Amino acid sequence: MDASVAPLFRHVEEPTAAAVARPSREDAEAAVRTLIAWAGDDPGREGLIDTPKRVVRAYEELFGGYREDAAAFLERTFSETGGYDDMVLVRDISFHSHCEHHMVPFFGRAHVAYVPIDRVVGLSKIARIVDAFARRLQTQEHLTAQIVSTLDEVLKPRGVAVLIEAEHMCMTMRGVQKAGASTMTTQFTGVFRDDPAEQARFMTLLRQGRG
């Protein structure tokens, strides 16, 4: 999209665990060895001796969202929209996250819509916002709210709608062990919250083409 570009204000995210002194890589690897031993295996055996290093490297990727400012993805917007002022919907954004209660994965799809006022944002940036928040210890409810509040506060559109559907391994692998159970969360602002017709249109667009 060829368009003029305008910076937006820098969003300040809510406080995170960054206030706590971050352990060293050696400390993290030692913690993994402790967990292996606690589980009942020998962290010194051949198959596990390099596992602590691998786990720490994996955690750097899986929890990389702590090192990203999600709102920074919205710092540039585009004004050449040809007068477009209707819903922008990006659906089926795949994501994976980790439950903050058990530190096991949950994964699914996020559907994000907003109604712009004069300016739009690059579509890939919406997916990047989802990933930035998903790659942290999360609850699905909090993840939904963070995506909505970031888009609402930075873009200041006429409204934001987010629906997330996910499967939680803390329900599949442990506890009630109900494989295939899914959880759906939604949050709406602006026209999506105040106008039932707009909310219904959002839901209808999500269902279209799904057979």
Active site residue 11: no
> Which candidate in 11, 13, 75, 102 is catalytic?
102
> Which candidate in 26, 80, 96, 101 is catalytic?
101
Active site residue 187: no
Tell me the residue type at 26: E
Is 111 annotated as belonging to a binding site? Answer: no
Q: Is 205 helix (H, G, I), strand (E, B) or coil?
A: helix
Active site residue 75: no
To the nearest 10 degrees (0 to 180), the angle between helices 140-155 and 123-134 is 140
Which residues touch 119 (CB under 8 Å, ≥6 apart)? 6, 77, 78, 79, 81, 155
Is 99 annotated as belonging to a binding site? Answer: yes
d(CA 126, CA 30): 37
Active site residue 29: no
Active site residue 111: no
> Which candidate in 99, 153, 165, 167 is catalytic?
99
Structure token pair of residue 163: 């629906």
> Which candidate in 13, 165, 170, 199 is catalytic?
170
> Which candidate in 29, 138, 140, 187 is catalytic?
140
> Which candidate in 26, 60, 80, 100 is catalytic?
100
> Which candidate in 138, 168, 187, 198 is catalytic?
168
d(CA 160, CA 158): 7
Tell me the residue type at 179: A
Phi, psi for residue 106 in degrees, rounded to 5: -135, 150
Q: Give the length of the chain.
A: 211
Catalytic residues: 99-102, 140, 168, 170
**Binding-site residues for Zn(2+), please?**
99, 102, 170
**Binding-site residues, please?**
99, 102, 170
